[in-house]
Structure 1
């Protein structure tokens, strides 16, 4: 019985991996100009026509790669924030981190973006700078002397910062050129505007460096999920561990949204679903959360491109799915 329970998270994660593969195949082959399923492997092997190769290798594949990397980053970021703050409602978009990154990217784009070489590679760093300043301010306003971090205050302060920074973005673009205003509007809608190979390469280092480190620190996250006295009693340096992991969560979220635009609720839903499937231990549920986050974002983008007459940005589809889930969690935790 014990062995069966121990293997259950692995079996469920493997099932998730199979579902994720189905979503990837659908994303690569769906649409009027897509490559049919039976042609995917021949085209990837270099045996496709020029049209098939261009559609798959230059249009579909980089976009899906960006979505997968961003979904993984947002899921891990949300998992860290929910554990460190002990707040089931924590999400990098809801608590203002996305808006901090977006405000910095807007300023950068309006005043310097077109004149700087390697623009795509700088965006994640610019987003991280804006997000880390925002996160520091939110953390400062969410702590009480002698009581530490207050989870519900964190949520309320984060929502306030998100609203203020979104308003600041709209103020900045009110006097901008139409093309510049259109870019910011697309970013706010989560249109996945950076869907070329340079943006994949810009996002990849943040994911391949930070995500394995988070997996390595799974035991630290398990301890942080306990009460503060228990964590201190187990010898954990609480403040240092919290700050390090929050900085990683901010970096992953900022890198993701710098390329995809404002994508909310992925970091909220993926950890919750993963814990229900794989259990509370981070060693088990973080891989599941990554698969769910990437799958949800790829599915949202595929659904948005499936309408015959128009395209709905992935951020809006994710919000339509995530907002009811957020309200359900608010009621459950209220």
Structure 2
């Protein structure tokens, strides 16, 4: 190992530790803030079983599951974005911008509007339904952006994704016009990226997807490094590029669909998280993958904490306020 490589790994370790520390600090602050403010002493007493019944209800039934799911879906969206950016070699790739989240939204709206289930009561089945929608949208986008002898063309992927997303959103709007006002309001709030009302059921519904897919993505980090060298060189080094690309895309789509199912339409996390991580630790995916997950979790948890203290409006709106200007900045810098 060269001195330069050792220095980079040391810097990456420091960055990962700093991001983890920021998550812990934000987690503690988030537990103390909200409509009902709890002092640090109240939180500590409640965590060790000495709090009042009211404090236990607020912390364990309302606040903690919401904080945990915000970290998990933030990490999931960021990992999905990191894979999409690497596989497509497109720095603007993001599950929200490419229409993958819209595919998940469409399937869930179809499921709810035709079966007439409450948004919150269908949480255990939503990740599977969302995955079907996300996979269908991703397959169409991949097919439109793929060109023989050239592979996936980054510009075509963005254009196809935007077009598919707009078409799906128009179809969702038409579908929501036929449902009753109560279901319509629930769907609109959920699609805006609201994670209010989250319970431990949401965490249990999402956790299997996270436990299965994240270790697979970490395991494939070295493959992503090889794929960044180009298809021809990667094939020459013995990497099954086509198979690995499809497996990684399936993992990205699965994570994005599951995140959308429990967190709604939170956009830009898959764009901001990987870009922030890349600036901090560099392009090596063995450091980029964990850094992206930590950055995404931190962004969504901080945004949710802000939204809870400013009127409890959808977390996705706070992320969009942060993400939209950053997307325009990246767009102005891209060639």
Name the TM tier (shorter chain).
Answer: over 0.9
Tell me the equivalent position of 1:220: 223
Deviations 1:196-226 (A, max 9, x none): 1111100001001110111011111111112
* Shift, 1:283, TM fit: 1.0
Shift in CA distance, 194/95, structure 1 to aligned 2, threshold 3 Å = farther
TM-score by length of 1: 0.96
1:190 aligned to which of 168, 183, 193:
193
Question: Does 2:149 correspond to 1:140?
Answer: no
| CA spacing shift, 1:90–1:301, aligned 2, 3 Å | same
Tell me which of 17, 22, 33 is aligned to 2:20: 17
Aligned with residue 110 of structure 2, among 107, 112, 115? 107
Alpha-carbon distance in structure 2 between the residues aligned to 1:74 and 1:117:
21
Query: Matches of 2:196 and 2:62 in 1, distance apart?
Result: 12
Deviation of 1:118 (Å): 7.3
The question of 1:5 aligning with 2:5 is answered: no
- SS at 2:79 equivalent: helix
Distance 1:168 1:193, change over 3 A: farther
Matched, 1:50 2:53: yes
Corresponding residue number in structure 2 for 1:201: 204
CA distance in 2, matches of 1:304, 1:117: 20
Residue 185 to residue 268, structure 1, CA distance change in 2 (3 Å): same
Say yes or no: does 1:66 pair with 2:69.
yes
CA distance in 2, matches of 1:65, 1:199: 10
Q: In 2, are the aligned partners of 1:59 and 1:196 still within 8 Å (CA)?
A: yes
Gapped runs of 5+ residues in structure 2?
Answer: none
User: 1:278 aligns to what?
Assistant: 281
Q: TM-score, normalised by structure 2?
A: 0.96
Q: Aligned equivalents of 1:183 and 1:136: distance in 2?
A: 29
- Answer whether contact 1:141 1:157 (CA < 8 A) is retained: yes
Give the alignment's Cα RMSD to 1 decimal: 1.6
Superposed displacement of residue 66, structure 1: 1.1
**Matching residue of 1:313:** 314
Structure 1 stretches (4+) deviating beyond 3 angstroms? 1-5, 115-118
Paired residue for 1:242, among 209, 226, 245? Answer: 245
Give the Å deviation of 1:42: 2.1
Listed one character per residue, the Cα deviations across residues 60-88 of structure 1 (whole Å, up to 9, x for unaligned) are 00111111110111011011000000000
Matches of 1:113 and 1:222, distance apart in 2: 45
Distance 1:113 1:209, change over 3 A: farther
1:38 shift after superposition: 2.4
For 1:115 and 1:168, the matched residues in 2 are separated by 20
Alignment match of 1:28 (pick from 16, 25, 31): 31
Candidates 180, 183, 194, aligned match of 2:183: 180
Report deviation, 1:188. 2.1
Distance (Å, rounded) in 2 between the aligned partners of 1:115 and 1:192 = 15
Q: Using the TM superposition, give the Cα deviation of residue 139 of structure 1 relative to its aligned residue in structure 2, in angstroms.
A: 0.4
Match of 2:124 in 1: 121
1:158 aligned residue: 161
CA contact (8 A) 1:98 1:262 kept: yes
1:94 correspondence with 2:106: no
